[in-house]
C-alpha cells in the first residue's frame, strides 16, 4: 500500500504542484525556513505577497540577521502571531552566527522558534533528509486515509507513526509538499474533491462514504472576553505611538499606548471601539482621547501611519477613529 501511495502522490505532485515563490528547483534553506515560519497558522494567500516583500528587502539570512528589530517587526505587521517574528529575529541571528542552517533535524530543533514540524520540513524540503513532516493538512489526509475517528489533537502519535510508515527514503521533501498540497487543494476540511484525489483507491474514509466525518472535529471552547482602552494622543497631525514590551502579547510591536486589558468596560467617553479576536480570548478595545504623551514613544505623522508597522488590532483602531472623523466632517 505504501509504495502505491507514494508513487501516485508524487506523480500527481509532478503534474499539479502549486507554484509558490519559495519552491525552487534547488531549494534555498533560507526561503524554506522563512516560508514555513510565515505559514504557521496563516494562509498561503496571505503569506505569498508578504514573503516576496521580505526576500526582496532581506534576500539572505545574513541580511535579515543584520536588520533592526523594529524594521523586521514593522514588516511583519498584519501577519499575526507576533511571537513568530521575535523568534524569526533570534533564529536568523543564530543561523548567521553559525554560518548557515544545520542540515540535521535534531540540530534544527535547537534553533529559536523551530518546533518538530518546522525542523522536519526544513530538513526534508531544503536538504532532502528523510523526516516525518506533519502539518494540519497532512494530518487530515492521513486521518482520512486510515479512518482515524478521533480529533487530530488526540491522535498525534498515531498520525505521526502512520506518516513515518509511508514517508519514502528518497524525495522526502517532494513527498511532504505533495501531502501538504493534497490537503490544501483536494482533501479539504469541507467539500473534499475526492474525485480528483490520487489516493482515493486506498482511502478508507472515501470507502466509508462519509470522508468529511474524518478526522473528528475537536469540541469548541468558549473564549473569555476582555475589555481594553487605547489612548489617542494627537498633536500637529501626528499620533503618539509606543512600542509594546518585548515579552507578551504583540510583544515588540508598535501600538497606541493604553492600560491593561481586563474584565470591565471603560466608563469614559470613547472615540471608537473595535472588536478583535485573539487565539485565547476576544477583546473590545475602546479608543479614548488623551492630551499628553504617555511612556517612551514617538510622534508618527497620520499621513504616514501605514508605515508605522501597527499590528492589525491597532491599525483597525486608528482606521476606526479616522473613519468617525470623516463622518463628522461630512455631516
Q: Which residues are catalytic?
A: 36
C-alpha cell read off for 301: 505623522
Q: Are 142 and 208 in contact (CB under 8 A)?
A: no
Torsion-angle region of 213 (φ positive above 0: left; ψ -120 to 50: alpha; else: beta): alpha
Distance (Å, whole) CA 155 – CA 149:
9
Q: How many of the other CB atoms lie within 10 Å of CB of 293?
A: 16
Distance (Å, whole) CA 261 – CA 114:
30
Q: How many of the other CB atoms lie within 10 Å of CB of 135?
A: 19
Angle at 168 between CA 162 and CA 172, to 5 degrees: 105
Give me the residue label for grid cell 533570534: 90
DSSP-based three-state secondary structure for 48: helix
Amino acid at each position: 500500500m505504501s509504495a502505491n501511495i507514494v508513487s501516485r502522490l508524487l506523480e500527481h505532485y509532478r503534474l499539479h504542484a502549486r507554484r509558490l515563490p519559495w519552491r525552487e528547483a534547488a531549494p534555498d534553506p533560507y526561503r524554506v525556513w522563512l516560508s514555513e515560519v510565515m505559514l504557521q497558522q496563516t494562509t498561503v494567500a496571505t503569506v505569498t505577497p508578504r514573503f516576496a516583500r521580505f526576500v526582496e528587502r532581506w534576500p539572505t539570512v545574513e541580511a535579515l540577521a543584520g536588520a533592526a528589530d523594529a524594521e523586521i517587526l514593522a514588516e511583519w505587521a498584519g501577519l499575526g502571531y507576533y511571537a513568530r517574528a521575535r523568534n524569526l529575529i533570534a533564529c536568523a541571528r543564530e543561523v548567521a552566527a553559525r554560518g548557515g542552517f544545520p542540515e540535521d533535524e535534531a540540530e534544527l530543533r535547537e534553533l529559536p522558534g523551530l518546533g518538530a514540524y518546522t525542523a522536519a520540513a526544513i530538513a526534508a524540503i531544503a536538504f532532502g533528509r528523510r523526516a516525518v513532516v506533519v502539518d494540519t493538512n497532512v494530518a487530515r489526509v492521513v486521518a482520512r486515509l486510515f479512518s482515524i475517528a478521533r480529533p487530530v489533537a488526540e491522535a498525534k502519535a498515531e498520525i505521526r507513526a502512520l506518516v513515518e510508515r509511508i514517508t519514502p527514503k528518497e524525495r522526502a521533501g517532494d513527498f511532504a509538499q505533495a501531502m501538504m498540497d493534497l490537503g490544501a487543494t483536494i482533501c479539504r476540511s469541507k467539500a473534499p474533491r475526492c474525485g480528483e484525489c490520487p489516493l482515493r483507491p486506498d482511502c478508507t474514509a472515501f470507502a466509508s462514504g462519509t470522508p468529511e466525518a474524518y478526522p473528528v472535529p475537536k469540541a469548541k471552547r468558549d473564549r473569555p472576553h476582555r475589555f481594553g482602552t487605547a489612548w489617542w494622543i494627537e498633536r500637529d497631525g501626528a499620533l503618539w505611538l509606543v512600542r509594546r514590551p518585548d515579552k507578551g502579547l504583540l510583544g515588540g510591536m508598535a501600538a497606541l499606548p493604553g492600560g491593561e486589558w481586563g474584565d470591565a468596560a471603560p466608563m469614559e467617553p470613547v472615540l471608537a471601539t473595535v472588536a478583535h479576536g485573539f487565539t485565547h480570548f476576544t477583546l473590545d478595545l475602546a479608543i479614548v482621547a488623551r492630551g499628553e504623551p504617555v511612556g517612551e514613544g514617538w510622534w508618527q505623522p497620520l499621513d504616514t501611519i501605514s508605515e508605522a508597522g501597527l499590528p492589525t488590532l491597532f491599525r483597525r483602531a486608528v482606521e476606526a477613529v479616522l473613519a468617525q472623523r470623516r463622518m463628522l466632517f461630512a455631516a
